[in-house]
Chains A and B, each alone.
Chain A
Amino acid sequence: MADFFNEGWSIAIAVVVLISIAACGLLLWSQSKVKVKLGNDGKPLPAGTTGHVWDVDLMEQNNPLPRWWMWLFYLTIIYAVGYLIVYPGLGSMQGSFGWSQAGAYEKEIKDGEQQYGPIFNKFMNMDIPAVAKDEQAREIGQRLFLNNCAQCHGSDAQGGKGYPNLADNDWLYGGDPETIKTSILNGRHGQMPPMAAAVGSEDDVRNLANYVMSLSNSAHDPIKASLGKSKFMACAACHGAEGKGTQALGAPNLTDKIWLYGGGVDNVMETINKGRSNQMPAHKALLGEAKVHLLAAYVWGLSNNSAVAVTQAEAGAIKQIANAAVEK
């Protein structure tokens, strides 16, 4: 703002405001009297009309406002002056209360923290599995999840293409309470570089993809897979020689049937050719540690149903996940 306004502008605005107020008062005062003709008897004639006549006989009647109403007008002027003394409004003057929009916002945030902080802090001192057992914590956790996480991971936390399922037992970075909390606090940046150059020709990539599919016993061509096995060297650095993944790096386990970007040879080929980049934003600054603690407990509870006294909703969801896993 300082670039656009200097002291001169501020003074100019203040002067305009003050002149306007004074002019309103002057107008009121000058219009509160009316000239009335005297009759022959020396008494004023009734001020029945204002003397304006048009369309032959349409006349403007003089229906005076009550006097108390006029005082109300003066009162508004006094109010305006008082307001400008107390609140900002006169150029860049602060007003004696020192009120500002940003200040009001900060105060509200502070008040909110004071009011709700104790609720969150209560759980801060409990370890995550204990928090997950608490019904109130779960309710708060669900609300936080729906407002902050469901946009990517889905309302039922089961994720989607590119967004991990949080309700199963498969974890990219580890599913223990502290790791989940770290993921939410600091975010994660999962990156798989394009590997086509390191692997070789398109056929090599196809063979490798078939080999990857064979790791989890998914549909694949055994001949191509055996041809691709040697190419897996390029992948082993992250995914491990057996393809079991490395949680420290966030490298997915390739031996299960859980695919972040979809299974099948074609999808895997695309992943090998172009690489993948995945970003989970850090929530520490957004939510604060206490809320993240609750969220971590909620998320941990989703896949640790035996460890928490679950609600019906969660029990059902978990049963379904279990059923789905059995079907597979």
Chain B
Amino acid sequence: MKIIPIVPAPMTEVELALFEERRKIYPRSQKGWFSSWRWVLVFFTQILFYGGAWLHWNDRQAVLFDLTTRKFYIFGLVLWPQDFIYLAVLLVISALSLFLFTAIAGRLFCGYACPQTVYTEIFMWIEKKIEGDRNARIKLDDAPMSVRKFSLKSSKHLAWLALSLWTGFTFVGYFTPIHVLAQEVFAFTLGPWEYFWILFYGFATYGNAGFMREQVCKYMCPYARFQSAMFDKDTLIVTYDTARGEPRGSRNKKVDFKAEGLGSCVDCGICVQVCPTGIDIRNGLQYECIACGLCIDGCDQVMDKMAYPRGLIRYTTEHALERKLDNKSMWRRVFRLRTLIYGSILGLIILVAALSLAYHVPLKVDVMRDRSMPKVTDTGAIENVYRLQITNSHEEAHKYVISVKGAAGIEIVNQTEIEVAAASVIPFPVRVRIPAGAAEIGSNRIRFVIQDINVPKINVTEKAVFLVPK
């Protein structure tokens, strides 16, 4: 009998997990022009955020979004739910600015002003101060647990947590007066929602800036996904000049690299090490790149050391690279029709919004006609009843005089003067009379004019209809 040996067939396939395990990034800290600008923006935004809540104005918090009474205080301005349009305008301005800046210089917002970037930047700074820079951190992570490792790690997390809680506290301080909040925190008398939001926002800060970092930009942020729709070939982007850099390779500084057939890139890997999203910009523009410019700073320093001209990695446009444009003609193309249109629409909206805020009148009136049938008096005059909802959005009491226009002899039968307390709304019934025959049968347009007695500038005109029965 012949024995047939069983030979395992050579394996040609393996099963792998489809989902990617996260590779921890250890960005190396980097100093330089762009890095300095990032810190300028960190300070600017955070002084605004942490400090703004403590400012005072007119015996109250200068910036307070009081959700319970639905009044938004921004310095001298008090916005009511009826002023929601300003929020819409703010969103439109933000969107248009994003279009404009993205069309000009890509993800400027991401790299410099986005809270995700800013807090990651602060958290990384703390991390560096406690655990050391890139190499020290890699070594520390690889080392087995020791007293030193434990104390470094725990102090880092304590510092992170403290900052996170402060951030959560500040955030809630914009919605509930922060001085009261501070006392409540120390007396442990916070309400359940205040606890929840401080802890929630604090936890979000801790998680996002401490752990999620570039994962937020890569997988969660929608802006990263649709930015490519706003880019074109004249958008300034952080780019590696392949023509100049390749072929890359290490070299002896004294040897003429051109003679050896090398490009300018010494393949030192600095640009990769500093990158907070962990990409290699030399592979070309990638959606992960948040345009922080750190690789530019890093590479420029290498170029300086090698005594090569700077700008192997630089802000430039695709067209400029392709067509070898000089700086002047590149910038001319940056300010092209598209950006000019974005810019002028944006400017116009900002102007209109600013004007409307400047002429913002702290008085609002809603007119509702009573549903009941118009009344005919003995003399044949017609009466309609209206309810005026008068909102005094100013922080002082105001006295108003009400008049009505729109037909001969039209008048208000009951009183015409009314005082409304500071920041309050009152319903005010008004009976309007038109003498017999002074208005046509059917609906007639009339106007109510509500004017401040002492400050004539504060006035509102509201349209209404007056019904005359057959």
Check B219–A155 contact: CB distance below 8 A. Answer: no
Confirm or deny: B256 has a beta carbon within 8 angstroms of a beta carbon on chain A.
no
Check A158–B385 contact: CB distance below 8 A. Answer: yes
Confirm or deny: B188 has a beta carbon within 8 angstroms of a beta carbon on chain A.
no
Number of interface residues of A (CB under 8 A): 43
Q: From the candidates A31, A67, A146, name the one contacting B427 in the complex (CB within 8 A).
A: A146
| Residues in chain B near residue A317, CB distance under 8 A | 414-415, 429
Check B415–A154 contact: CB distance below 8 A. Answer: no
Q: A37-B12, A38-B14, A155-B385 are in contact. Are A65 and B375 (CB under 8 A)?
A: no
Counted as pairs of residues, one from A and one from B, with CB atoms less than 8 Å apart, the total is 115
Inter-chain CA distance A309–B375, complex, in Å, is: 29
Check B11–A66 contact: CB distance below 8 A. Answer: no
Q: How large is the interface on B (under 10, 10 to 19, 20 to 34, 35 or more residues)?
A: 35 or more
Inter-chain CA distance A313–B376, complex, in Å, is: 23
Check A70–B19 contact: CB distance below 8 A. Answer: yes
Check A44–B19 contact: CB distance below 8 A. Answer: no
Inter-chain CA distance A67–B17, complex, in Å, is: 9
Q: From the candidates B215, B416, B418, name the one contacting A66 in the complex (CB within 8 A).
A: B215
**Minimum CB distance partner of B18 in chain A:** A34
Interface string of B373-393 (1 = CB under 8 A from A): 101101000000111000000
| Residues in chain A near residue B219, CB distance under 8 A | 65-66, 69
| Residues in chain B near residue A142, CB distance under 8 A | 427
Check A66–B370 contact: CB distance below 8 A. Answer: no
**Minimum CB distance partner of B11 in chain A:** A38
Confirm or deny: A64 has a beta carbon within 8 angstroms of a beta carbon on chain B.
yes
**Minimum CB distance partner of A150 in chain B:** B370
**Minimum CB distance partner of B23 in chain A:** A66
> What distance in Å separates the Cβ of A97 from its nearest Cβ neighbour in chain B?
18
| Residues in chain A near residue B19, CB distance under 8 A | 32, 64-67, 69-70
Check A320–B414 contact: CB distance below 8 A. Answer: yes
**Minimum CB distance partner of A218 in chain B:** B378
| Residues in chain B near residue A65, CB distance under 8 A | 18-20, 219
Q: From the candidates B14, B218, B370, name the one contacting A35 in the complex (CB within 8 A).
A: B14
**Minimum CB distance partner of A165 in chain B:** B375
Q: A65-B219, A155-B427 are in contact. Are A160 and B13 (CB under 8 A)?
A: no
> What distance in Å separates the Cβ of B384 from its nearest Cβ neighbour in chain A?
10
| Residues in chain B near residue A33, CB distance under 8 A | 15-18
Which residues A38-78 have CB closer than 8 A to chain B? 38, 44, 47, 64-70
Confirm or deny: A274 has a beta carbon within 8 angstroms of a beta carbon on chain B.
no
| Residues in chain B near residue A320, CB distance under 8 A | 413-415, 431
Interface string of B398-417 (1 = CB under 8 A from A): 00000000000000011111
| Residues in chain B near residue A69, CB distance under 8 A | 19, 219
> What distance in Å separates the Cβ of A77 from its nearest Cβ neighbour in chain B?
16
| Residues in chain B near residue A64, CB distance under 8 A | 18-20
Confirm or deny: B83 has a beta carbon within 8 angstroms of a beta carbon on chain A.
no
**Minimum CB distance partner of A324 in chain B:** B413
**Minimum CB distance partner of A323 in chain B:** B413
Inter-chain CA distance A150–B215, complex, in Å, is: 59
Inter-chain CA distance A263–B15, complex, in Å, is: 95
Inter-chain CA distance A158–B384, complex, in Å, is: 11
Check A35–B427 contact: CB distance below 8 A. Answer: no
Q: Which of B17, B372, B378 lies at the interface centre, i.e. has the most chain A CB atoms within 10 A of its CB?
A: B372
Interface string of A247-272 (1 = CB under 8 A from B): 00000000001000011000000000
| Residues in chain B near residue A328, CB distance under 8 A | 378
Interface string of B6-29 (1 = CB under 8 A from A): 000001111111111110000000
Check A32–B17 contact: CB distance below 8 A. Answer: yes
Confirm or deny: A122 has a beta carbon within 8 angstroms of a beta carbon on chain B.
no
Check A158–B431 contact: CB distance below 8 A. Answer: yes
Q: From the candidates A31, A313, A319, name the one contacting B418 in the complex (CB within 8 A).
A: A313
Check A37–B13 contact: CB distance below 8 A. Answer: yes
Confirm or deny: A316 has a beta carbon within 8 angstroms of a beta carbon on chain B.
yes
Check A32–B18 contact: CB distance below 8 A. Answer: yes
Q: Which of B370, B373, B387 lies at the interface centre, i.e. has the most chain A CB atoms within 10 A of its CB?
A: B370
Inter-chain CA distance A44–B17, complex, in Å, is: 12
Confirm or deny: B141 has a beta carbon within 8 angstroms of a beta carbon on chain A.
no
Q: A146-B387, A320-B413 are in contact. Are A154 and B372 (CB under 8 A)?
A: yes
Check A35–B15 contact: CB distance below 8 A. Answer: yes
**Minimum CB distance partner of A142 in chain B:** B427
Confirm or deny: B57 has a beta carbon within 8 angstroms of a beta carbon on chain A.
no
Q: A33-B18, A67-B19, A158-B431 are in contact. Are A312 and B415 (CB under 8 A)?
A: yes
**Minimum CB distance partner of A62 in chain B:** B18
| Residues in chain A near residue B416, CB distance under 8 A | 316
Inter-chain CA distance A94–B385, complex, in Å, is: 51
Confirm or deny: A289 has a beta carbon within 8 angstroms of a beta carbon on chain B.
no
Check A44–B16 contact: CB distance below 8 A. Answer: yes
Check B16–A160 contact: CB distance below 8 A. Answer: no
Confirm or deny: A143 has a beta carbon within 8 angstroms of a beta carbon on chain B.
yes
| Residues in chain B near residue A178, CB distance under 8 A | none
Check A66–B429 contact: CB distance below 8 A. Answer: no
Check A150–B14 contact: CB distance below 8 A. Answer: no
Q: A64-B20, A66-B19, A68-B22 are in contact. Are A154 and B14 (CB under 8 A)?
A: no
| Residues in chain A near residue B375, CB distance under 8 A | 158, 160-161
| Residues in chain A near residue B12, CB distance under 8 A | 37-38
A33-B18, A44-B14, A160-B373 known; 19 new pairs, CB 8 Å cut-off, are: A34-B17, A65-B18, A66-B22, A66-B218, A68-B215, A69-B19, A142-B427, A146-B427, A150-B387, A155-B370, A155-B385, A155-B429, A156-B385, A257-B378, A312-B418, A313-B414, A313-B429, A316-B415, A320-B413
Which 10 A/B pairs are nearest by Cβ-Cβ distance? A316-B415, A155-B429, A156-B429, A64-B20, A155-B387, A67-B19, A70-B19, A160-B372, A34-B18, A317-B414
- Pull 10 A–B residue pairs with CB atoms less than 8 Å apart, ordered by A: A33-B18, A65-B19, A66-B215, A69-B219, A158-B375, A158-B385, A312-B419, A313-B428, A319-B415, A324-B413
